[in-house]
């Protein structure tokens, strides 16, 4: 079972890294194109006046997707350990703290997912669209909810894989 969970988590992490990479590349492309077109307009004294429509919207939603996907991709590596505070703590306690940390990310992902699904349903029922590009907000919210669900799922998988809470019970019984 652990091998299956490990493979699934690795596959989901790779998927999230790909999504984050694509979103980040798209974000950078939109930004570079928009800045380049504005610079061209300045060089020509406004004779060539082109811009990327809705660039601020595109960048903000692509940033959302890249951040959520990156969080889900690196949940098991993302804990910052402050050595000054943890150098005297034994490894078992550090592992338990890491397990609680991952549970916190799981709860965060669930809260985000539920809120985004509710926003998506509201956006779909009311026909909510983005301000500049008039893109339906429902799919945007649903994709963000999917990425939040992946954050929760991968966090839970790594809690289960670490055996943190199982070790606690075994040591209490043993």
Domain that holds residue 34: 2-173
pTM (two decimals):
0.86
Phi, psi of 136 (to 5 degrees): -60, 130
Tell me the Ramachandran region of residue 89: left when phi exceeds 0, alpha when psi lies from -120 to 50, beta otherwise. Answer: beta
Residues of the chain above pLDDT 70, percent: 89
Cβ atoms of residues 70 and 20 within 8 Å: yes
Residue among 60, 61, 53, 62 nearest 34 (CA): 53
pLDDT band, very low/low/confident/very high, at 99 (cuts 50, 70, 90): confident
In whole numbers, what is the pLDDT of the chain averaged over residues?
A: 88
The pair of structure tokens assigned to 79 is 């804990």
Residue whose entry in the numeric block shows the structure tokens 């590596």? 77
What is the count of structural domains for the chain?
A: 1
Write the burial class of residue 167 (CB in 10 Å: 0-12 exposed, 13-18 middle, 19+ buried): middle
Torsion, Cα of 35, 37, 42, 45 (10° steps): -170
Cβ atoms of residues 72 and 154 within 8 Å: yes
Q: Give the per-residue pLDDT at 77.
A: 78
């Amino acid at each position: 079972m652990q091998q299956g969970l490990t493979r699934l988590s690795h596959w989901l992490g790779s998927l999230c890294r790909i999504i984050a990479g694509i979103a980040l590349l798209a974000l950078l492309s939109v930004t570079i194109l928009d800045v380049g077109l504005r610079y061209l307009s300045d060089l020509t004294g406004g004779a060539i006046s082109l811009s990327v429509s809705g660039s601020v919207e595109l960048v903000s939603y692509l940033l959302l997707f890249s951040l959520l996907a990156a969080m889900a991709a690196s949940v098991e590596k993302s804990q910052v350990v402050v050595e000054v505070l943890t150098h005297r703590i034994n490894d078992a306690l550090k592992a338990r703290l890491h397990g609680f940390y991952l549970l916190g990310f799981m709860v965060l992902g669930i809260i985000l997912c539920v809120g985004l699904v509710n926003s998506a349903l509201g956006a779909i029922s009311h026909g909510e669209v983005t301000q500049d590009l008039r893109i339906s907000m429902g799919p945007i919210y649903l994709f963000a909810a999917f990425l939040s669900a992946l954050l929760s799922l991968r966090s839970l998988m790594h809690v289960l894989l670490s055996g943190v809470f199982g070790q606690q019970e075994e040591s209490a019984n043993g």
